[in-house]
Chains A and B, each alone.
Chain A
Amino acid sequence: MSRIRVDLIEKIEGVAEVKYHIKDNRVDFAQIAFFDSRYIENILTGRVPLDALAITPRVCGICGHAHLIATVRALESATGCRVSKKAQTIREITLSLELLQNHFKWFYLSIYPLILNGANRVDGALEPSRVISEAIALIAGQYPHNSYAIVGGISTDITPIDIFELKDRLKYITKLFNKYIIDTDISEFSRCDKLEMMLSKSGDLPLIMQKILNNGWQSLGQSYDRFIVFGDSGIFKKGKSVSTRYQEHLDMRYIEEFKTPNSEAISIKYRGKFYETGPLARAMIMKRSLVKEAHRRYKDSLYTRILARVCEMPLLIQYIYDLIDTIDYSQPSWIDYKEFKQSCSGVGAVEAARGSLIHKIDIKEGKIIEYKIITPTQWNLGNSNKSNPSTAQKALIGNRADAPLELIFKSFDVCSVCTVK
């Protein structure tokens, strides 16, 4: 018996559609489609290079800051200029804050209700998100959609009083992490390598991880077990790993893009293969102990994927504390690069909340002639054929028709708006 079921996926960034081909009550194939292309790459073509700093954050309302950082890195690699350690540190702080905010929102708005039968705990997303946005705005002017990272540094000078305010908010965010996610010291949690220890604490992380086990879902959503990370700054390391074999060297020339019918999204492969990007990929490459432990038991399942994302939160919090202590206020916030080169090209890679984000720019006679954006959702949620399915398609295929397919899909965290950029 064969039938087709079409699911509209909402409460993600935008909407997506999954068309399930169901045969003998199992998912035989799943087609993923995104709509409403916005042609940002075309809109940038013909503009002066610096305009990209104002336009690309508007690709996405939730991860726009990662787009800004990718743009400024691409522009700086194109024209070649110096950036002070202070400016780089401050950019790392705001970028890490955005990742943290995305993790809270995804956990409470996308994942929590699906595991707890439609129950909601919206405050777990709203309260941390607002405070984190304030922390970013203290430096960057506003959130979302600022352009404070500029070629040569950052737009304004930063004083210790701004950072004191930021630090007080960070303390509050740490408390909220303990209040909502897991009630244990962040450094203790970062070192934790026993799932049972995590499960024995109180908080919504142990609650939903236990619920996944009780429902018997812990091994669902496995895919290729191939991971890739392009952004190498901060707490992340660049490289790819295929069943525990790690290779540091990556070459962007091996990235292939292809378009499939029925969807407006473009899918991505590296050397002819699909890879998973995002928190699970980052944890596997960095060999984070708790995530490795989950992976040993349940491989690259939705359980490991959800855990990997939450495990990034205390690391990010600690990283921001550490960065704050290294700021040397005597350094310049911005270094004059005199003039932007008339003809040049550059690449910027950054780890956004959902995974590797790459911007490429080509400039001739002072104008952008080509701008290319490759987003995490294109890596994870491509749409391919049955004989060579994308990472998310593979995770969906083979499941029973009544399995938590939406949860498997959302475990990758879908940014539809970035995909139809």
Chain B
Amino acid sequence: MKLLWLQKITCNGNAHSFLNYPNLTEWMEDFEWVYHPLLPSTYSLKEIQSDIKECDILMIEGAIDREDSLFLELFYRYANEAKYILTLGTCATFGGIFAQAKDSIKGLHFDKENRLDEFGKFWQKSISLPGCPLQPQVLAGVLNAIKEGISIPLDKMHRPKYYYAYTVHNGCTRNEYFEYKIDEHRFGELEGCMFYEHGCQGTYTHNSCNKILWNSVNSKTRAGQPCMGCSEPNFPDDDLWRTKKNMGIPAKLPTGVPKRAYLSLAGVAKAFKIDRFYHPLMEDESE
């Protein structure tokens, strides 16, 4: 399989993140980099720009400035050629951080959650892989599936369900504190959930961060950082370390959970004061 990795307005984070894929060297045996920004490739960027090279999969990293006619021309040439187009990371998919600088900077098929028609003829062969950055296992897995001819179930934003049907909350080591509505959290501690006060978006962010651990060892929420929703269309929101509330209730509730259900469960949970959750994990459990 011939892979072409093109970059536009990006931090290079997806390219570097991908280098952390375990067994990358073995994985690469079945693929050829027509061009990759860091790894040895068949052609130089200049050669890629000057005439069309064969490619099976076009990968875009970074947001696209619609005023950048040179890049758009390059994109069209290879998008017509490729069997699949992958948008790598949140910038290429939804616009991300850099889209906040200028109205003309957007994701390939989306401006935040709004579908754009501009490149509509490529929509059917496009796969969205948001994340800031993208987890290396996600990209390697999707490319493996394409190579093996296995069809990948996609959601309506064309995100592969194998990875994005989950939320970041799934598998978080702090989730008992969420389930039992323990709303006290202090930074610098092993205990507590950041959902109630500190802006954690894990319960409504579609990604596998706590299922496929980052760098095979950990995740941001396990390490006490609120999930900032970096794979969601509106990333980055404002005031990221504080939970927005209406009348004391978190303004955004877990995906698919109606407010009534949430409030009923919260009411029941709060009726009990379960001692264990108020004790440091490293102290003896009370009887």
B218 touches A141 (CB 8 A): yes
Whether B156 sits at the interface, judged by CB under 8 Å, is: no
15 contacts between A and B (CB under 8 A): A15-B45, A38-B9, A43-B100, A51-B241, A105-B19, A122-B39, A130-B19, A130-B20, A130-B215, A145-B132, A154-B188, A155-B187, A165-B217, A332-B188, A334-B188
A137 touches B238 (CB 8 A): no
Q: Of A8, A51, A64, which contacts B45 at CB under 8 A?
A: A8
- What CA separation (Å) do A154 and B186 show in the bound complex? 11
With A120-B40, A130-B22 as contacts: A58 and B13 at CB distance below 8 Å: yes
Chain A residues in 8 Å Cβ range of B225 = 141, 146-148, 150, 155-156
Q: Of B20, B24, B45, B218, which contacts A138 at CB under 8 A?
A: B218
Whether B133 sits at the interface, judged by CB under 8 Å, is: yes
> Could you tell me which A residues sit within 8 Å of B by CB distance?
8, 10-11, 13-15, 36-40, 42-43, 47-48, 50-51, 53-55, 58-62, 64, 87, 105, 109, 113, 120, 122-123, 125-126, 129-130, 133-134, 136-148, 150, 152-157, 159, 165, 332-336, 417
- What CA separation (Å) do A53 and B224 show in the bound complex? 14
Whether B102 sits at the interface, judged by CB under 8 Å, is: yes
- Minimum CB–CB distance for A330 against chain B, Å: 11
With A10-B37, A122-B40, A334-B186 as contacts: A147 and B220 at CB distance below 8 Å: yes
Whether B15 sits at the interface, judged by CB under 8 Å, is: yes
Whether B97 sits at the interface, judged by CB under 8 Å, is: yes
Whether B219 sits at the interface, judged by CB under 8 Å, is: yes
A333 touches B217 (CB 8 A): no
B12 touches A60 (CB 8 A): yes
> Could you tell me which B residues sit within 8 Å of A by CB distance?
7-17, 19-22, 24-25, 37-40, 44-46, 65, 97-98, 100-102, 132-133, 186-190, 209, 214-225, 228, 230, 236, 238-242, 282
A sample of 13 more A-B contacts (CB under 8 A), given A48-B241, A130-B22, A142-B220, is A8-B46, A14-B37, A51-B238, A58-B97, A61-B17, A105-B19, A122-B39, A126-B24, A142-B219, A145-B17, A153-B187, A159-B282, A332-B188
- Minimum CB–CB distance for B69 against chain A, Å: 14
B223 touches A144 (CB 8 A): no
A43 touches B101 (CB 8 A): yes
A51 touches B239 (CB 8 A): yes
Q: Of A134, A146, A148, A157, which contacts B217 at CB under 8 A?
A: A134
Chain B residues in 8 Å Cβ range of A105 = 19, 38
- Minimum CB–CB distance for A209 against chain B, Å: 22
Chain B residues in 8 Å Cβ range of A129 = 19-20
- What CA separation (Å) do A415 and B218 show in the bound complex? 28
B45 touches A141 (CB 8 A): no
B10 touches A417 (CB 8 A): yes
Chain A residues in 8 Å Cβ range of B15 = 61
- What CA separation (Å) do A129 and B215 show in the bound complex? 11
- Minimum CB–CB distance for A123 against chain B, Å: 6
- Minimum CB–CB distance for B34 against chain A, Å: 14
A156 touches B40 (CB 8 A): no
Chain B residues in 8 Å Cβ range of A48 = 238-239, 241-242
Chain B residue at minimal CB-CB distance from A332: B188
In the A-B complex, list the 3 residue pairs whose CB atoms are closest, starting with the nearest: A334-B188, A156-B224, A141-B223
A145 touches B133 (CB 8 A): yes
- What CA separation (Å) do A143 and B20 show in the bound complex? 9
- Minimum CB–CB distance for A82 against chain B, Å: 12
Chain B residues in 8 Å Cβ range of A39 = 98, 101-102
B40 touches A10 (CB 8 A): no
Chain B residues in 8 Å Cβ range of A126 = 19, 24-25
- What CA separation (Å) do A206 and B133 show in the bound complex? 36
B16 touches A139 (CB 8 A): no
- What CA separation (Å) do A347 and B15 show in the bound complex? 30
A61 touches B223 (CB 8 A): no
- What CA separation (Å) do A136 and B217 show in the bound complex? 10
Chain A residues in 8 Å Cβ range of B217 = 134, 137-138, 165
Chain B residues in 8 Å Cβ range of A130 = 19-22, 24, 215
Chain B residues in 8 Å Cβ range of A150 = 187, 225
Chain B residues in 8 Å Cβ range of A54 = 228, 236, 240-241
- What CA separation (Å) do A226 and B19 show in the bound complex? 35
Chain B residues in 8 Å Cβ range of A51 = 236, 238-241
Chain B residues in 8 Å Cβ range of A36 = 8-9, 65
A157 touches B186 (CB 8 A): no
Q: Of B133, B188, B218, B223, which contacts A153 at CB under 8 A?
A: B188
- What CA separation (Å) do A215 and B101 show in the bound complex? 47
Chain B residues in 8 Å Cβ range of A58 = 11, 13, 97, 132
- Minimum CB–CB distance for A5 against chain B, Å: 13
- What CA separation (Å) do A303 and B244 show in the bound complex? 55
With A61-B17, A126-B24 as contacts: A139 and B223 at CB distance below 8 Å: yes
- Minimum CB–CB distance for A345 against chain B, Å: 20
- Minimum CB–CB distance for A168 against chain B, Å: 12
- Minimum CB–CB distance for B96 against chain A, Å: 8
- What CA separation (Å) do A238 and B246 show in the bound complex? 49
- What CA separation (Å) do A392 and B239 show in the bound complex? 40
B241 touches A50 (CB 8 A): yes
Chain B residue at minimal CB-CB distance from A416: B12
